[in-house]
Amino acid sequence: METQESIRTVTTIGEMQALSEQWRKQGVSIGLVPTMGYFHDGHLSLIRHARQRCKVVVVSIFVNPIQFGVDEDFEQYPRDLERDSRMAAEAGADVLFAPAAAAMYGATFQTAVQVKQITQGLCGASRPGHFEGVTTVVCKLFHIVKPHLAVFGAKDYQQAMTIRRMIIDLDFDIDLDLAPIVREESGLALSSRNEYLSPEERREAAILFQSLRLAERLILQGERDPEKVLLAMQAMIDAVASSKIDYIALVDPETLTPVQVIDRNIRILLAVYIGKTRLIDNYLVELSTGID
């Protein structure tokens, strides 16, 4: 279907499954962009990506209660379904799937999908239960929307690698595409949570990307010791008064295990509080030859 300005909103699981079933019978390819709404250009780039590859594009909006910890921002998480609906339509989505929490998790719900290893460190260490909540809801969305393709953003890199693992381990016949991070001019990665930042914090939040670029410069100049790169990043971020580092890690891009020596492409992941807002970002540092 072509880019359009109206969009069909589906709120029940039964209607979504019936629609997808019908598309599948007609041989129509289905792209799914799972989101929690409150769209920015990052989300729109995922929708446009799915639009390029599939005949129909379904965008799900569901602020998933089970992936938030008790002290986290589930209640506060920004929501604006009307605005999202307009933006999704303009970006070329055909259907907005926006179920109620009670429809997704009935009173007797008791199942969880857990990817065991790749979820242990990084965000998994700071947010216990988070990835189990993510994989459980994404697994449900896959069964409801029955997509051929699912598109996720590279900003949530550990999430994307976790879902990739789940797709492989649970034999979902679904392609996963990772769309590049979209950034503000300052380098700050777009996120619905940027909404929480004051104008000053927003300026300061650019330090995440600046520290990633510093790491890249050091590595491209020949630094091979991850510890030294980490210390330089820490010093740069700590110089911003409102910042508090949750973690910085230089990891293998596939397994997400820390590298001992930088002798191949690595991915740097970090989570930093700016004021009360926890932000994440990551960056692939590519060594041209792989060896010195």
Of the residues 40, 43, 130, 143, only one is catalytic, namely 43
160 is an interface residue for ligand PAF by CB under 6 A: no
Q: How far apart are CA 118 and CA 109, in angstroms?
A: 25
Scanning 148-291, the segments in alpha helix (DSSP H) are 157-169, 199-204, 207-220, 226-238
Out of 50, 137, 161, 262, the only residue in the binding site for ligand PAF (CB under 6 A) is 137
35 is an interface residue for ligand PAF by CB under 6 A: yes
Q: How far apart are CA 80 and CA 237, in angstroms?
A: 33
Provide the CA 244 distance to its chain's centre, in angstroms.
Answer: 22
Out of 45, 64, 119, 194, the only residue in the binding site for ligand PAF (CB under 6 A) is 64
67 is an interface residue for ligand PAF by CB under 6 A: yes
In this structure, how many other beta carbons lie within 10 angstroms of the beta carbon of residue 200? Answer: 11
Closest to ligand PAF by CB, 92 or 133: 133
Three-state DSSP at 128 gives coil
Longest dimension (CA), the chain: 58
179 is an interface residue for ligand PAF by CB under 6 A: no
Closest to ligand PAF by CB, 87 or 236: 87
36 is an interface residue for ligand PAF by CB under 6 A: yes
Evaluate whether 192 touches 164 at the Cβ level (below 8 Å): no
Is position 148 annotated as part of the catalytic site? no
Query: Residues touching ligand PAF: how many (CB under 6 A)?
Result: 10
**Binding positions for ligand PAF, rule: CB under 6 A:** 34-36, 64, 67, 134, 137-138, 156, 159
